[in-house]
């Protein structure tokens, strides 16, 4: 049975395998443990076959010990609806990976130019405490990102147009057995489009 700090170490290793960031700094930031304690934990995880001898990648057993949740959206104006939805998504598993739509995809979805660029939106979402990793999506095929992340759960927001059947069938094509969860928002009237409608063009000056 893994303790909380071991689970965090495995989660950080998983994230660093995807984004290529320095593992030791990321673990120390998340765990609040000394370097010696972290090394001791990693030794134990290697002994129990959760981590490879390279000390930075997960074994198949290690990966299977994590429940990874994938969520996506435009996230142009972060509002309470987003926060609730992302908290609900994180509660479904151990790791929350969020995909922000590219600028071109955002225009297609929202019928307007996003206020923030895709890189700015990625930075905004990455700064949220419940998010473990934020990626910029693929324009041509959303399942490229799904295949990279290989989540156990794909969480859809209450207002997202993606249909469960489309997601499920796409996952089958990449041989991924993922559960699709539709999240409900307690603030369904809280949306970026409503905020922009309420404040009009003045929002661009905030």
pLDDT, one tens digit per residue, over 174-192 is 999 999 998 876 655 555 5
Give the pLDDT confidence score for residue 203 in this predicted structure. Answer: 40
- pLDDT classification of 40: cutoffs 50, 70, 90: very high
pLDDT score, position 153: 97
Does residue 157 carry a pLDDT above 90? no
Q: Which comes out higher in pLDDT, residue 161 or 147?
A: 147
Would you state the pLDDT for residue 145?
A: 95
Walk across the sheet containing 95-100 and list its strands: 133-136, 95-100, 68-73, 153-156, 179-182
| Pairing relationship of beta strands 153-156 and 179-182 according to DSSP bridges | parallel
The mean per-residue pLDDT over the stretch 5-25 comes to 93
pLDDT above 90 covers what percent of the chain? 62
Dist CA 123 CA 114 (whole Å): 15
- State the average pLDDT for the chain: 88
What's the whole-number mean pLDDT along residues 8-12? Answer: 96
pLDDT at 159 over 70: no
Whole-structure pTM value:
0.86
pLDDT bracket for residue 194 (50, 70, 90): low
Phi-psi region for residue 156, left (φ > 0), alpha (ψ -120 to 50) or beta?
beta
Average pLDDT over residues 34-44: 95
Distance CA 9, CA 5 (A): 6
What is residue 4's three-state secondary structure?
A: helix
């Amino acid at each position: 049975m893994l303790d909380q700090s071991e689970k965090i170490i495995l989660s950080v290793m998983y994230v660093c395998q995807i984004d290529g960031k320095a593992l030791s700094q990321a673990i120390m930031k998340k765990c609040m443990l000394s370097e010696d304690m972290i090394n001791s934990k990693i030794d134990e995880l290697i002994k129990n076959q959760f981590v490879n001898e390279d000390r930075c990648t997960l074994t198949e057993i290690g990966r299977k010990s994590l429940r990874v949740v994938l969520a996506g959206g435009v996230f142009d104006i972060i509002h309470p609806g987003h926060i609730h939805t992302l908290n609900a998504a994180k509660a479904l598993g151990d790791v929350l990976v969020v995909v922000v739509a590219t600028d071109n995809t955002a225009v297609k979805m929202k019928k307007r130019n996003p206020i923030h660029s895709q890189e700015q939106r990625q930075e905004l979402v990455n700064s949220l405490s419940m998010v473990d990793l934020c990626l910029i999506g693929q324009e041509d095929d959303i399942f490229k990102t799904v295949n990279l992340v290989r989540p156990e759960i794909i969480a859809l927001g209450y207002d997202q147009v993606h249909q469960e059947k489309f997601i499920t069938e796409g996952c089958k094509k990449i041989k991924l057995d993922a559960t699709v969860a539709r999240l409900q928002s307690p603030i369904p009237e809280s949306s970026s489009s409503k905020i922009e409608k309420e404040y009009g063009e003045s929002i661009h000056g905030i």
